[in-house]
Amino acid sequence: MHVRFSCFLLLMGHSYSFRHKLWQGEELKDGDEHVSASGKFKFGLFTPSSTPYSSKRYVGVWYNKPTDRTKSLYNEDEVRYYRSQMQSLKVVWIANRNNPILHKSSTIRIDNSDGNLKIFPNGENPVAITLVGAIRNITSVSLLKSGNLVVHVPYLNNGSIKHLLWQSFDYPTDTLLPEMKLRINFLIGHQWFLQSWLTYNSLEQGRFNVGMGLNVTSQLRVSCRGKGDQTSGDLLNGKFKSWNISGYKFSYFSNEQEKYFNYSVSEDVTSFPMLQIDWNGGLRDDRGQSIASCSVFNPGKCKSA
Ligand SMILES: *[C@@H]1O[C@H](CO)[C@@H](O)[C@H](O)[C@H]1NC(C)=O
Ligand SMILES: *[C@@H]1O[C@H](CO)[C@@H](O)[C@H](O)[C@H]1NC(C)=O
Ligand SMILES: *[C@@H]1O[C@H](CO)[C@@H](O)[C@H](O)[C@H]1NC(C)=O
Ligand SMILES: *[C@@H]1O[C@H](CO)[C@@H](O)[C@H](O)[C@H]1NC(C)=O
Ligand SMILES: *[C@@H]1O[C@H](CO)[C@@H](O)[C@H](O)[C@H]1NC(C)=O
């Protein structure tokens, strides 16, 4: 009796999660949103809040109805500044930041010819979201509760085990989420960065980035493009020496293969944790609180290199 009951629960759990998957042969139309299993994130096509009248459509992941913490900032100018440039749609990942779609009749689906997830703009060439580089029959796309968009293939004849082919956490844009790693992989010689938007209303890859320091890889660094980089200082008990990121607990991990930083927050602190580099080179938390800044408007915070 006990065993049968458990099986029933497992099946229920399984079919529920299917609603948060896109299978080969299914499609997401512009206007449809794919919701993460937790209900916390959405995946779909959007127009940034900073350009509400623009016809440019982007594919990405954003927070689904976060509770806004920016009002807890006491400096009203800073709140206004933050709100004007940070999306009120809390976008955390963009698939096609350099390749916007110019109309509202696209679909997103797995391309049968190569197994990749692509945007199919009506009558134009498809724009690839993933590059998995293999012809696969049974591919599924899911948005995990962490906000990570993942592409899986089940091993043949074995539905219980699946293989991760691609994940959006490996292609960060301007935002670091909990469970995401900002890292250096020594085996493949690759370093990951958060890369700012170009301007407050242009999502293209901009001038500023955040990553590990070139020389001091146990620290994070905002690269200010010749204006003097902003470094975090060392990490002690989850806090950086020079950066005050209230409520966020950071970890540093290193071995022969890789080094990375990640962080966690408790739900009590915020419903939409994010560490984001703005177009002006300012690193901000979910409240818009400035952590480090390259901005000329913030000269006091800029140290020379
Ligand atoms: C994969 O797709 C091809 C072409 O549609 C089909 O012939 C083949 O049987 C499929 N293989 C599996 C394992 O589904
Ligand atoms: C799936 O593969 C795993 C690992 O090879 C194996 O342990 C498991 O028994 C397989 N399950 C099925 C249903 O074939
Ligand atoms: C951060 O990385 C460590 C080491 O791999 C891991 O144990 C921890 O769960 C990670 N934290 C989050 C929030 O993912
Ligand atoms: C990093 O190391 C290189 C080579 O040793 C040196 O030329 C450079 O000035 C260092 N950069 C910083 C920011 O310390
Ligand atoms: C860090 O930020 C929090 C929240 O803004 C503030 O209350 C606290 O005083 C700051 N701590 C330091 C050391 O600046």
Which of 171, 201, 231 is a domain's end point?
171
Give the model confidence (pLDDT) of 200-241 as tens digits: 889 999 999 999 987 888 999 999 987 788 999 999 999 999
Task: Note the ligand closest to the C-alpha atom of 161.
Answer: 2
Domain hosting 135: range is 1-171
Give the model confidence (pLDDT) of 237-296 as tens digits: 999 999 999 999 999 999 999 999 999 998 888 889 999 999 999 999 998 889 999 875
Which of 171, 199, 230 is a domain's end point?
171
Atom of ligand 3 nearest to the CA of 262: 1
Regarding whether 131 and 268 lie in a shared domain, the answer is no
Atom of ligand 2 nearest to the CA of 157: 14
264 lines ligand 3 (CB under 6 A): yes
Q: Are 55 and 103 in contact (CB under 8 A)?
A: yes
Total domains present in the chain: 2
Q: Are 224 and 211 in contact (CB under 8 A)?
A: no
Which residue's CA is the nearest one to ligand 4's atom 1? Answer: 215
H or E stretch covering 135: none
Cβ-based neighbours of 225, under 8 Å, separated by 6 or more? 207, 208, 281, 294
Regarding whether 156 and 179 lie in a shared domain, the answer is no
**pTM of structure:** 0.82
pLDDT at 156: 65
154 lines ligand 3 (CB under 6 A): no
Regarding whether 239 and 144 lie in a shared domain, the answer is no
- Here the CATH number for the domain that contains residue 11 is 2.90.10.10
pLDDT category of residue 115 using cuts at 50, 70 and 90: confident
Question: Separation of 24 CA from ligand 1 center, angstroms?
Answer: 12
- Read off the pLDDT of each residue in 139-147 and give the average, rounded to a whole number: 91
Regarding whether 219 and 111 lie in a shared domain, the answer is no
Atom of ligand 4 nearest to the CA of 305: 13
Regarding whether 218 and 182 lie in a shared domain, the answer is yes
CA–CA distance, 230 with 211 (Å, rounded to integer)? 11
Which residue's CA is the nearest one to ligand 5's atom 3? Answer: 246
Q: Are 244 and 257 in contact (CB under 8 A)?
A: no
Q: Greatest CA separation found in the chain?
A: 69
CA–CA distance, 104 with 150 (Å, rounded to integer)? 25
Identify the residue with better confidence: 43 or 154. Answer: 43
Regarding whether 206 and 135 lie in a shared domain, the answer is no
Which of 110, 143, 171 is a domain's end point?
171
